[in-house]
C-alpha cells in the first residue's frame, strides 16, 4: 500500500485551528442495539475529515448525529455531548432547522428534487428566507453553482429538471444545493459511491476547492479517496473509534494493528 | 341415469387414467436410462386431461342438442298426434308430461299428460343412453390414444403447461368478454332509443321529463329527453360536492398517516379507514337520507335559502365521506412511493416536516394523487344507492346545493323499476343514460391509469 502512503504524505498538513465541532462520549442506539459506543472526536474548521471503516462500522450513523438526521429514525437514540462552536446541538434550545442550515449534508445517492435545476438550488435559501427578491436569488443560485463547479455546464438550462442531469452532475447539484444556504459544515455520506471514476475525480477536486471555506466531513469506503482528499482520518470499527489522527500518520504509521490491517486490505 | 351422473363417471375414468399413466411413467425412470423428459404426475395429468376433457365437451354439446332430439321423437309418436295444435294448452300438457317422465312431479291437471309421459321417458332414456355410450367411447378412445403416446421422450410437461395457460387465459377472457357483451347490449338498446329520440336533443336538451302518454287523450305527457339536468346533477353531486369533501380530507389523512402518525397509531388507523370503504353504500344511503338530509334542510332554512329535504348537499357530503378511503389510500401509496432520499434531502436542508410535505412530497406524489382523484370521481358518478335514497327526482338545473337535483343513476333506477315495456323511449332512455355513464367512467379510468403509470415510470 505504498501508493496510499505517498498520496497521504503528499498532502500539505494544515495547521490546526480551533475545532468546529466536538463530540464527546457519543453513544447511538437503534432500539436495543448499540450502533456507536463512546466516540469522541473533534472536527477542525479548516480541514477535510474522513471517516473510514468496513461496512456497518457506524461511520454513517455517526455522521448523521452531527446534523441530527437520526431524529428522523423513530427508534434511534443519541447519548453524549456534541457541540457546534461550543453549543450543544442536542440541547432543547437548539432549533434543528437552524442546525441543519449550519450543518449541510450530501447523500450517498444523488437526490435532487424533481424540480428545475434553479429551483433545486433555490430550495434552501427560499425556506430559510435568505434572498430578498429575484435578483438576489439569481445571484445565490449562480454563486452556489459556480462553487459546485456546475455553472458552466448548466447555465443555459437552469429551467430543466434536476433529475435529467447525469449522476455526477446531480451530485454536484446536491452540493450546490447544500452550499446555497451558506453552511459552516458540510457532511458528505459516501458522495461518490454511486458515481463513475471521472465524476468521482470532479467531486474530489471540488472538495479540494471547498476546503477552508467550509469544514467538511466525508464518509468513504475508498481509502485512496480518504488519502487524497482529507487532512485528518478517523477509522471506525464495530461502532468504536479505533484511531483518529493526521491522514498521513494514519496511512503511513498507524498505531493500532486493526487500522493497519484495514488499510493494507487484510479485511473490510 | 342423467348426464350429470355420466359426467361424474367420466371424471372417475380420468382418475383411473391419471393413476395408470403415472404408474407407467414411473417405470420410465429406470437406472442407467436417460432421464425422462417429464415427471410421472405430468404424464398422469396429460392422459387424464385427454380422457376427461373431450368427453365432457361432448356431454355439454349433447345436453344442448338432445333436448331437441327428444322433442322431435315425442312429436313423431302416435300418442302426440291427439295433442291440441297450438297454444298454452299444448305446451302445458308437454311440460306436465316431461315433469312426470323425469319424476319432478307425480300429478298433472291434463289427463293427456299421463299418456304422453311414458313416451317422454322412453325418449329421454334412449338419448341419455346414446350420450352415455358415446361419452364413454370418446373417453376411452382419447385416453387410450394419449396413453399410447407416452414414452420417456414424450413432452407431457409442455403440453400440460399449455392447458394450464389456456385455462387461465379463458378465466381472464371471461371478464373481458362480459365487458364487451355489456357494451354491445348497451349499444343495441341505445341505438333503438336514438332511432326514436335525436341524440342532439338527448345530449343537449335542457328539459327532462320522460313520462310518455299511454293514450292519446292524456295531457302534458309528451316526454322530454334532454339529459343535461341529469348530467349536471351527477357532476354537481359526484364531481363537485363529493370531491370538495373527499380530496382535502383524504389527502390530509394520507399525509398524517404517512408522515406524522406513530407506527402503532397507523397500524390501527389505516384498517379503520379501509373499513369505511367496505360499508355497503345502502347504509350510507340511510345515513344520508335520515340524518344528514334533515339537518341540511334545517340549516338551509335557517340561512334563508330555499332548501329541500332531498338536497344535493346531503347526497354529495355523504358520498364524499364514502370516497375518502379511495382518495386517501391512493394518496398514501403515491406519497409512500416518493423515495426516502427525497425526504431526507429536504430535511437535511433544514426544511420542517410540513415544508417538506408541501414543497417536495406532494408535488412529487401529485400525479398519483390526481390519478386517485380521477378514479374516485368515476366511482362517485357511478354510485347509485346514496343518490337514489338521498338525492331527489326533480331534474333541476340549479347551483343551489340546498335544492334537489337528480342524477343519471337515480333516473336509470327510476326508469327501469317495475314492469316496463321495452319499446318505449322512456325505458330505452335508461340504456342511453347507462351508455353515457359507461363511456364517461371508462374515459376517466383510462386517463387515471395513464397518469398513475406515467408517474410510476419516473421513479423506477
What's the rounded Cα separation, in Å, for the pair B424 and B244?
39
Write out residues 3-62 of A within 8 Å (CB-CB) of B.
none
Q: With CB atoms and an 8 Å threshold, state whether B350 touches A97.
A: yes
For position A121, what pLDDT does the model report?
95
> How far separated are the first and last CA of chain B, in Å rounded?
61
Counting every residue written for chain A, the total comes to 268
- Residue A16 DSSP symbol: P
Q: Which residue from B362, B356, B358, B359 is spatially nearest to B343, judged by alpha carbons?
A: B356
Q: Which residue from A151, A168, A148 is spatially nearest to A214, judged by alpha carbons?
A: A148
Nearest to A114 among B262, B350, B364 (CB): B364
Of B154, B179, B199, at which residue does a domain stop?
B154
Low-confidence ranges of chain B (pLDDT < 70): 1, 85-87, 212-222, 455-460
CATH number for position B219:
1.10.3720.10
Look up the domain containing A147 and give its range.
96-102+113-182
Scan for cell 433544514, then name that residue.
B350
Q: Are residues B113 and B213 in the same domain?
A: no
Q: Does a structural domain hold residue A144?
A: yes
- Residue A15 DSSP symbol: P
Q: With CB atoms and an 8 Å threshold, state whether B345 touches A111.
A: yes
Q: Does a structural domain hold residue B143?
A: yes
Contacts of B345 in chain A (CB under 8 A): 107, 111-113, 174, 177
Q: Are residues A119 and A247 in the same domain?
A: no
Instruction: pLDDT band for A6, please (50, 70, 90 cuts).
Output: low
Look up the domain containing B110 and give its range.
3-154
Of A148, A182, A216, at which residue does a domain stop?
A182
* Crossing angle for the helix pair B312-337 and B425-459, to the nearest 10 degrees: 20
Q: Does a structural domain hold residue B79?
A: yes
For position A26, what pLDDT does the model report?
93
Of A133, A157, A182, at which residue does a domain stop?
A182
- Residue A96 DSSP symbol: H
What's the rounded Cα separation, in Å, for the pair B369 and B110?
69
Q: What is the pLDDT of residues A193-250, one digit of tens each?
A: 888 898 899 899 999 989 988 999 999 988 889 999 999 999 999 999 999 999 999 9
For position B436, what pLDDT does the model report?
92
Q: Average pLDDT, stretch A83-101?
A: 90
Task: Report angle CA B192, B195, B199 to the nearest 5 degrees.
Answer: 105
> In angstroms, what CA-CA distances link A210 with A18, B141, B310, B426?
18, 86, 70, 80
What's the rounded Cα separation, in Å, for the pair A107 and A171?
8
CATH number for position A261:
3.40.50.300
Backbone angles phi, psi at A215, to 5 degrees: -75, 130
Q: Does a structural domain hold residue B273?
A: yes
Of A182, A199, A225, at which residue does a domain stop?
A182
Contacts of B344 in chain A (CB under 8 A): 69, 72, 107, 111
Q: Are residues A175 and A188 in the same domain?
A: no
Q: Does a structural domain hold residue B175?
A: no
- Residue A71 DSSP symbol: G
Number of compact structural domains in chain B: 2
Choosing among B348, B362, B455, which should be mutated to test the A contact, i.e. which has the most A CBs within 10 A? Answer: B348
What's the rounded Cα separation, in Å, for the pair A250 and B11?
80
Instruction: pLDDT band for A119, please (50, 70, 90 cuts).
Output: very high
Q: Residue B324 in contact with residue B253, Cβ under 8 Å?
A: yes
Q: Does a structural domain hold residue B184?
A: no
Backbone angles phi, psi at B213, to 5 degrees: -70, 130
Interacting residues of B53 by C-beta distance below 8 A, sequence separation 6+:
none
Q: With CB atoms and an 8 Å threshold, state whether A181 touches B359.
A: no
Interface membership of A129 toward B (CB under 8 Å): no
Q: Are residues A211 and A178 in the same domain?
A: no
Q: Does a structural domain hold residue B164?
A: no
For position B213, what pLDDT does the model report?
57
Instruction: pLDDT band for A1, please (50, 70, 90 cuts).
Output: very low
Scan for cell 490546526, then name that residue.
A16
Number of compact structural domains in chain A: 2
- What is the sign of the dihedral through the CA atoms of B323, B327, B328 and B333? positive
Q: Does a structural domain hold residue A108?
A: no
For position A242, what pLDDT does the model report?
92
Q: With CB atoms and an 8 Å threshold, state whether B348 touches A69.
A: yes
What's the rounded Cα separation, in Å, for the pair B268 and B261?
11
User: Averaging pLDDT over each range in A1-15, A24-38, A253-267, B107-121, which range is the top one?
Assistant: A24-38
Q: Does a structural domain hold residue B179?
A: no
For position B37, what pLDDT does the model report?
84
Q: Are residues A140 and A17 in the same domain?
A: no
| Mean pLDDT lowest among A165-169, A187-191, B33-37, B216-220 | B216-220
- A-B contacts at Cβ under 8 angstroms: 67
Amino acid at each position: 500500500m505504498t501508493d496510499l502512503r505517498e498520496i497521504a504524505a503528499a498532502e500539505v498538513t494544515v495547521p490546526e485551528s480551533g475545532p468546529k465541532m466536538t463530540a464527546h462520549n457519543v453513544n447511538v442506539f437503534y432500539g436495543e442495539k448499540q450502533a456507536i459506543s463512546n466516540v469522541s472526536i473533534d472536527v477542525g474548521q479548516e480541514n477535510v475529515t474522513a471517516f473510514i471503516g468496513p461496512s456497518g462500522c457506524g461511520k454513517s450513523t455517526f455522521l448523521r448525529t452531527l446534523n441530527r438526521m437520526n431524529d428522523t429514525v423513530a427508534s434511534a437514540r443519541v447519548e453524549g455531548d456534541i457541540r457546534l462552536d461550543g453549543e450543544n446541538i442536542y440541547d432543547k434550545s437548539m432549533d434543528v432547522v437552524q442546525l441543519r442550515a449550519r450543518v449541510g449534508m450530501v447523500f450517498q445517492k444523488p437526490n435532487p428534487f424533481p424540480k428545475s435545476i434553479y429551483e433545486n438550488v433555490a430550495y434552501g435559501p427560499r425556506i430559510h428566507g435568505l434572498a430578498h427578491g429575484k435578483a438576489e436569488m439569481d445571484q445565490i443560485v449562480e454563486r452556489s453553482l459556480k462553487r459546485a463547479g456546475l455553472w458552466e455546464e448548466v447555465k443555459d438550462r437552469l429551467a430543466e429538471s434536476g433529475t435529467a442531469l447525469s449522476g455526477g452532475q446531480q451530485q454536484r447539484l446536491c452540493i450546490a444545493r447544500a452550499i446555497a444556504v451558506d453552511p459552516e459544515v458540510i457532511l458528505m455520506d459516501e458522495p461518490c459511491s454511486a458515481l463513475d471514476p471521472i465524476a468521482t475525480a470532479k467531486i474530489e477536486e471540488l472538495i479540494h476547492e471547498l476546503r477552508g471555506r467550509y469544514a467538511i466531513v466525508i464518509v468513504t469506503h475508498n481509502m485512496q479517496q480518504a488519502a487524497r482528499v482529507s487532512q485528518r482520518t478517523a477509522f471506525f470499527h464495530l461502532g468504536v473509534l479505533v484511531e483518529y489522527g493526521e491522514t498521513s500518520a494514519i496511512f503511513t504509521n498507524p498505531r493500532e494493528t486493526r487500522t493497519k490491517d484495514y488499510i493494507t486490505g487484510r479485511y473490510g | 341415469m342423467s348426464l350429470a351422473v355420466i359426467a361424474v363417471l367420466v371424471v372417475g375414468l380420468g382418475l383411473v387414467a391419471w393413476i395408470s399413466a403415472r404408474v407407467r411413467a414411473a417405470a420410465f425412470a429406470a437406472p442407467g436410462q436417460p432421464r425422462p423428459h417429464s415427471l410421472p404426475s405430468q404424464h398422469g395429468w396429460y392422459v387424464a386431461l385427454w380422457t376427461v376433457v373431450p368427453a365432457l365437451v361432448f356431454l355439454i354439446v349433447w345436453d344442448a342438442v338432445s333436448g331437441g332430439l327428444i322433442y322431435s321423437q315425442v312429436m313423431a309418436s302416435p300418442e302426440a298426434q291427439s295433442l291440441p295444435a297450438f297454444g298454452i294448452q299444448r305446451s302445458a300438457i308437454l311440460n306436465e308430461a316431461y315433469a312426470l317422465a323425469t319424476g319432478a312431479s307425480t300429478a298433472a291437471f291434463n289427463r293427456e299428460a299421463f299418456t304422453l309421459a311414458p313416451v317422454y321417458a322412453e325418449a329421454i332414456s334412449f338419448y341419455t343412453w346414446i350420450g352415455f355410450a358415446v361419452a364413454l367411447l370418446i373417453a376411452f378412445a382419447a385416453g387410450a390414444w394419449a396413453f399410447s403416446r407416452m414414452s420417456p421422450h414424450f413432452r407431457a410437461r409442455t403440453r400440460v403447461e399449455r392447458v394450464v395457460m389456456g385455462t387461465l387465459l379463458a378465466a381472464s377472457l371471461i371478464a373481458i368478454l362480459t365487458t364487451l357483451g355489456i357494451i354491445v347490449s348497451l349499444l343495441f338498446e341505445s341505438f333503438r332509443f336514438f332511432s326514436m329520440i335525436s341524440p342532439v336533443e338527448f345530449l343537449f336538451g335542457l328539459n327532462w321529463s320522460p313520462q310518455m302518454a299511454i293514450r292519446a287523450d292524456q295531457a302534458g305527457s309528451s316526454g322530454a329527453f334532454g339529459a343535461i339536468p341529469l348530467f349536471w346533477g351527477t357532476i354537481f353531486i359526484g364531481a363537485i360536492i363529493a370531491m370538495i369533501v373527499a380530496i382535502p380530507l383524504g389527502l390530509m389523512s394520507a399525509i398524517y398517516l404517512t408522515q406524522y402518525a406513530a407506527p402503532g397509531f397507523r397500524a390501527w388507523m389505516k384498517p379503520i379507514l379501509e373499513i369505511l370503504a367496505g360499508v355497503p353504500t345502502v347504509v350510507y344511503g340511510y345515513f344520508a337520507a335520515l340524518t344528514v338530509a334533515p339537518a341540511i334542510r334545517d340549516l338551509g332554512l335557517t340561512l334563508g335559502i330555499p332548501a329541500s329535504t332531498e338536497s344535493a348537499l346531503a347526497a354529495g357530503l355523504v358520498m364524499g365521506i364514502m370516497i375518502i378511503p379511495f382518495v386517501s389510500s391512493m394518496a398514501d401509496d403515491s406519497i409512500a412511493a416518493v423515495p426516502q432520499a427525497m425526504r431526507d434531502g429536504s430535511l437535511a436542508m433544514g426544511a420542517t416536516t410540513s415544508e417538506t410535505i408541501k414543497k417536495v412530497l406532494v408535488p412529487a406524489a401529485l400525479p398519483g394523487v390526481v390519478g386517485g382523484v380521477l378514479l374516485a370521481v368515476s366511482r362517485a358518478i357511478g354510485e347509485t344507492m346514496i343518490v337514489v335514497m338521498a338525492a331527489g327526482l326533480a331534474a333541476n338545473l340549479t347551483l343551489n346545493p340546498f335544492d334537489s337535483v337528480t342524477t343519471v343513476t337515480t333516473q336509470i333506477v327510476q326508469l327501469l323499476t317495475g314492469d316496463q315495456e321495452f319499446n318505449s323511449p322512456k325505458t330505452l332512455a335508461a340504456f342511453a343514460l347507462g351508455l353515457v355513464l359507461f363511456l364517461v367512467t371508462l374515459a376517466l379510468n383510462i386517463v387515471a391509469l395513464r397518469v398513475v403509470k406515467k408517474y410510476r415510470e419516473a421513479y423506477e
